[in-house]
Structure 1
């Protein structure tokens, strides 16, 4: 028996909304009933992050966004970052796979200028209120930068300030070769370096601020050629199992397992 002929479309959409945006798109390929349910506005409303209305209402093109369906709005915010904050010092978008908030703290909001020319002291700080981020989410923080023009002498970057005194230089270099600890070139040609991670807890009880700092205040060599784009805060990808309710429906449909 094809259970999609007996279950209302709203019921199927409600079940799918208990998974993730990525799984919802995959499920829409299973049958016409799932495809139809996959366009449900209430379902995509649940995938949009908390507080998204307030964020887009402050954006100059918000009137155009209001006219979009919830599904189209979701993917619009995935692919089209918008500037938010008092000085437009943050870039906001949605992580396509999870629906979590994705932020870039752009250099104009830092306490120091983002383009360094012949300086010997680097101390860049930025902070963000945790209520702006998605709750109950682990975030990775990444420095986004490029090198241009004349450069100063290169030195090793020590992510753990105690490594210098506890380890020999050779051991520290091996530590820095670990995956995720060296700069990686992105598709947009900027360089990316992971600087840490943190967990943003429940917004009800864990309100506060997260401060990030890039500094070099010990080795006072001339530094130049560093262009800082910003600090990117993006949600860590979490592997999730499909809801047991969906698995049961797949068995009843005779569709087998979703790969």
Structure 2
């Protein structure tokens, strides 16, 4: 009943195989991370099938990422949508503010929280921004679902 991590390689990232837009690099722990080079159409999504969560426990969903020093295009909020048994939430998050004092450092960006219900079901999430400014400099390690501390 612990943590679930959807690594970057297991996320669905639009344009991820196109080297003009994304670059895959090895992190210091040898994991593959996705570095955003340049997109104006951002869509990252993932799914955890029927996770074994403890009913009644508060969980949080976090994006494990970092923002490069020379990142740009993040002054407008991006959208986050999160579906779990018993509901769906969506809101916006300003990633530029989240990384303001911690460029080039891995950070857990809290995307949302929920209480696990008795009936397990899939958890799905989407981080997206269609159109608008070109964006660069976000490096994604993955998305974690874990008990809230």
Q: TM-score, normalised by structure 1?
A: 0.38
CA contact (8 A) 1:120 1:223 kept: yes
Residue aligned with 1:101, SS = coil
User: Paired residue for 1:194, among 97, 107, 110?
Assistant: 110
Larger radius of gyration: 1
CA contact (8 A) 1:138 1:198 kept: yes
User: Paired residue for 1:110, among 6, 11, 20?
Assistant: 11
Q: How does 1:162-177 map to 2 (within 5 A)?
A: none
| Residue in 1 that maps onto 2:23 | none
CA RMSD between the two structures? 3.0
CA contact (8 A) 2:80 2:127 kept: no
Tell me the number of residue pairs that the alignment of Structure 1 and Structure 2 aligns: 115
Alpha-carbon shift at residue 101 of structure 1 (Å)? 0.5
Counterpart Cα distance in 1 of 2:7 and 2:68? 18
| Higher RCO (CA 8 Å, separation ≥ 6 residues) | 2
| Residue in 1 that maps onto 2:136 | 224
| Residue in 2 that maps onto 1:209 | 122
Cα deviation, 1:211-236, whole Å, max 9, x if unaligned, reads 111111142x1111111011121212
User: Paired residue for 1:152, among 55, 72, 78?
Assistant: 72
Gaps of 5+ in 2: 17-33, 82-92
Gaps of 5+ in 1: 1-99, 162-174, 238-259
More helix by share: 1
Q: How does 1:1-259 map to 2 (within 5 A)?
A: 100-112=1-13, 113=16, 114-148=34-68, 150-157=70-77, 182-183=98-99, 189-202=105-118, 206-219=119-132, 221-237=133-149
